[in-house]
Amino acid sequence: MRIEIKDLHYTYPGDVKALKGISLTIESGEQVAIVGQNGAGKTTLVKHLNGLLQPTSGSVLIGEWSTTEETVAKLASRVGYVFQNPDEQLFTKNVHQEVSFGPKNLGYESEKVEALVEDALTLTKLSDQKETNPYDLSPTWRKMVALASIISMDTPIIIFDEPTTGQDAANIERMANAIAALRERGKTVITITHDIDFCAENFERVIALAKGKVLLDGSANAVLGQEEILAQTYVDPPQLTRLGLRLGMKEVVRNQEEFLNAYKKHAA
Amino acid sequence: MAIVNLKNVTYKYPLTDTLVLDGINLQIEEGEFVAVVGPNGAGKSTLCYMLAGFVPHFYKGELTGTVEVAGVETQESSLNEWVMNVGLAFQNPFNQISGAKYTVFEEIAFGLENIGVPRKDMKERVERALEMTGILDLAERSPYSLSGGQQQRVALTSILVMEPKVLVLDEPTSQMDPIGTREVFGVIRTMAERGMTVVLAEHKMEWIAQFADRVIALHEGKILLDGKPGEVLTSELLDGKGFGISRYTSTAREAQEQSLWPNNKNLPVTLDEAVEGFTPNPSPSPLKGEGS
């Protein structure tokens, strides 16, 4: 499902101009990371994809649906949104209910709901927590419940707002595995992240926003190697990219394998 | 003299049987900048709450051993006394922002109002704190209209303004952009150099290595390692326990397997250390690094 954003502007009450003319196309099945300074407009942008915010001017198309003409409820069948803070979206008595809520509301019959819930819980390693109250879980696992409750809606597009915030290494790996599984299913995954190493290791396309505009948009290697331009939006390249740049390597690298291969050539 | 002094401390939250902290002995000197690392569930946040008096005064539960901070013992004091010495910035700024104030400026002043600081001093202190953390431009905004990272700066500022003897920070940069994170680490370092004692729970290994004096690795409620950042963060004892690791360390370790990392060099945690080790045949010339 294609996403088409045309000359999108958004102004918050009080005349805070958060988006100042964004045009982007995201094709079906793309894996896109959005990076940029706090206040750059990342969350404001993605809140337009499911109609939570309406453009001040410009347009957003999800497939053939315009977000100004469809309800948030209808858009929810195409765009799932995992909030930054899981506590803003969890509200039921147990994990099973939480994860069933979305697909039930999309009107699926109970057999399909059950299958979707099972699948989402397996993917997020929560199968043994069905009866647990989400608030009895640690914040780390509440984040996984929030993720599961969106995966179970089986939308073609899934948005993650800061999936690795406050997560430890093991959970970041679980998160990366879940995203990889969604990629294999052909889902479009859009992730806002400050974890630039996570971004480098899991996303093929990177969009850098700065002050409400697109600063850079391209393949991960092309964008993440632009140290000076990224600094304008308070982003450092990933650790190994910086190391490659400092060592004067010719090619931009973004993970261990790329680094070691390039290093062998460089040192030879 | 140690400003933080924990002796044989164990702690259980109410209605639970697990010791979240189990036999902790910890002394921290005045002005030290100590980072606490560990997987989620290791006890980092609980340790932060304990140093700030929230454990046991707010959370209750069962504490044994002695917890002494700035000469006051937790069991013998109230939370009101405690907050005069220790400031805690929560992991989630939503939990910290008062909800009672319309602007960031007023939010930062809230703590000072509560301890009766005169109006004139209050204004000066708030302005100084806002400047220090780089959010003067947010002063008139509503705390709730800010992004996650901006809210975290507000939360941190509202603690710094209190000028506590001990500053306890629970992942204060988790929602901040990368360069903002580095800046905030710089601010925290400056506070430590001015004599404030800092205890920071954090996952960002590169910045810990660059800015902290000492690292404590917590695992299942116990102190697994306690030492210099470069030693603790590259230790093989952390393997397979869910600790984060800098990409510099993991890549150099793999490079070492392939004989691409010098055997006589410690594994790197920071960029500079990695550059040094990966620079082929480093010349001993004193002109090195001057672009000769």
Average pLDDT over residues B62-71: 94
* Last residue in a domain, options A118, A135, A152: A152
Average pLDDT over residues A170-189: 94
Number of neighbours of residue A184 by Cβ within 10 angstroms: 9
Same domain, A124 and A170: no
Our CA-based measurement puts residue B80 at a distance from the nearest CA of chain A, in whole angstroms, of 28
Q: What is the pLDDT of residues B100-115, one digit of tens each?
A: 888 999 999 999 999 9
Q: What is the pLDDT of residue B148?
A: 81
Q: What is the pLDDT of residues A61-96, one digit of tens each?
A: 999 999 999 999 999 999 999 998 888 888 889 999
Contact A204, A220 (CB under 8 A): yes
Does a structural domain hold residue A83?
no
Same domain, A74 and A171: yes
* Alpha carbons A182 and B175: distance in angstroms, whole number: 24
Give residues with Cβ within 8 angstroms of B9, minimum separation 6.
Answer: B21, B23, B24, B25, B26, B50, B63, B64, B65, B66, B67
Same domain, A140 and A161: no
Q: Indicate the residue type of B162.
A: M
Give the mutation candidate from B203, B272, B275 for the A interface (greatest A CB count, under 10 A).
B203
| Angle, CA of A165, A167 and A170, to the nearest 5° | 145
Q: Give the length of chain B.
A: 292
Same domain, A229 and A255: no
* Alpha carbons B188 and B193: distance in angstroms, whole number: 9
Write out A66-119 in H/E/C secondary structure: ECCCCCHHHHCCCEEEECCCHHHCCCCCCHHHHHHHHHHHCCCCHHHHHHHHHH
Percent of chain B past pLDDT 70, that is, above it, reads: 96
Q: What is the pLDDT of residues B202-257, one digit of tens each?
A: 999 999 999 999 999 999 999 999 999 999 999 999 999 989 999 999 999 999 99
Instruction: Report CA Rg, chain A.
Output: 19
Nearest to B150 by CA among B167, B160, B136: B136
Average pLDDT over residues A19-40: 96
Q: What is the pLDDT of residue A253?
A: 96
Contact A197, B247 (CB under 8 A): yes
Same domain, A106 and A173: no
Does a structural domain hold residue A21?
yes
Contact A220, A201 (CB under 8 A): no
Q: What is the pLDDT of residue B253?
A: 95
- Lookup: tokens for A10: 């958004």
Does a structural domain hold residue A38?
yes
Q: Would you report the helix, strand and coil content of chain A in percent, each value rounded to 5?
A: 40, 25, 35
Write out chain B in H/E/C secondary structure: CEEEEEEEEEEECCCCCCCCEEEEEEEEECCCEEEEECCCCCCHHHHHHHHCCHHHHCCCCEEEEEEEECCEEHHHCCHHHHCCCEEEECCCHHHCCCCCCCCHHHHHHHHHHHCCCCHHHHHHHHHHHHHHCCCHHHCCCCHHHCCHHHHHHHHHHHHHCCCCCEEEEECCCCCCCHHHHHHHHHHHHHHHHCCCEEEEECCCHHHHHHHCCEEEEEECCEEEEEECHHHHCCCHHHCCCCCCCCHHHHHHHHHHHCCCCCCCCCCCCCHHHHHHHHCCCCCCCCCCCCCC
Q: What is the pLDDT of residues B255-268, one digit of tens each?
A: 999 999 998 899 99
Q: What is the pLDDT of residue B281?
A: 66
- Lookup: tokens for A208: 């850098």
Average pLDDT over residues B152-174: 93
- Lookup: tokens for A161: 């707002």
Please answer yes or no on whether A162 and B175 come within 8 Å at the CB atom.
yes
Average pLDDT over residues B18-40: 96
Q: What is the pLDDT of residue B290?
A: 43
Does a structural domain hold residue A263?
yes
Q: CA torsion angle for B158, B160, B166, B168 (degrees, to 10)?
A: 60
In which domain, by residue range, is A187 found? 1-78+155-236
Does a structural domain hold residue A12?
yes
Confidence of residue B284 (pLDDT cuts 50, 70, 90): low
- Find the CATH number of the domain harbouring A9: 3.40.50.300
Q: What is the pLDDT of residues A123-165, one digit of tens each?
A: 999 999 999 999 888 888 899 999 999 999 999 999 999 999 8
Which position has the token pair 């989400």?
A: A134
Please answer yes or no on whether B40 and A167 come within 8 Å at the CB atom.
yes
* Last residue in a domain, options A99, A129, A152: A152
Contact B214, B33 (CB under 8 A): yes
pLDDT at B275 over 50: yes
* Alpha carbons A195 and A163: distance in angstroms, whole number: 9
Percent of chain A past pLDDT 90, that is, above it, reads: 87
Instruction: Enumerate domains of chain B plus CATH numbers.
Output: 2-229 (3.40.50.300)
B147-156, B163-172, B248-257: which range is least confident on average? B147-156
A22-26, A30-34, B76-80: which range is least confident on average? B76-80
Q: What is the pLDDT of residue B14?
A: 94
A115-119, A233-237, B81-85, B157-161: which range is least confident on average? B81-85
Our CA-based measurement puts residue B223 at a distance from the nearest CA of chain A, in whole angstroms, of 17
Please answer yes or no on whether A37 and B203 come within 8 Å at the CB atom.
no
Q: Give the length of chain A.
A: 268
Same domain, A15 and A66: yes
Distance of CA B278 to the CA centre of its chain: 30
Same domain, A179 and A59: yes
Same domain, A60 and A165: yes
Same domain, A22 and A137: no
pLDDT at B289 over 50: no
Same domain, A230 and A247: no
Nearest to A195 by CA among A216, A174, A167: A167
* Last residue in a domain, options A152, A175, A190: A152
Please answer yes or no on whether B177 and A37 come within 8 Å at the CB atom.
yes
Please answer yes or no on whether B242 and A264 come within 8 Å at the CB atom.
no
Number of neighbours of residue A146 by Cβ within 10 angstroms: 26
- DSSP category for residue A253: -
- Interface residues of A toward B, Cβ cutoff 8 Å, are 12, 14, 16, 36-40, 43, 84-85, 87, 138-140, 162, 165-171, 194, 196-197, 231, 233-236, 238-240, 242-243, 246-247, 256, 259-260, 263-264, 267
Q: What is the pLDDT of residue B288?
A: 46
pLDDT at B147 over 70: yes
Q: What average pLDDT does the structure give for chain A?
A: 94
Same domain, A161 and A73: yes
Q: Collapsing DSSP states into helix, strand and coil, what is residue A60?
A: strand
Q: Which residues of B touch A160 (CB under 8 A)?
A: none
Read off the pTM: 0.88
Q: What is the pLDDT of residue A193?
A: 94
Assess whether the previous peptide bond of B39 is cis (omega < 30° from 0): no
From B40, B92, B275, residue closest to A243, measured CB to CB: B275
Q: Where are the alpha helices (DSSP H) in A162-210?
A: 169-184, 196-202
Q: What is the pLDDT of residue B145?
A: 83
Does a structural domain hold residue A86?
no
Please answer yes or no on whether A12 and B145 come within 8 Å at the CB atom.
yes
Which position has the token pair 């204060």?
A: B172
Report the domain count for chain A: 3
pLDDT at B93 over 90: no
Same domain, A6 and A63: yes
Does a structural domain hold residue A84?
no
Confidence of residue B38 (pLDDT cuts 50, 70, 90): very high
Q: What is the pLDDT of residues A162-178, one digit of tens each?
A: 999 878 888 899 999 99
- Lookup: tokens for A35: 């990076």
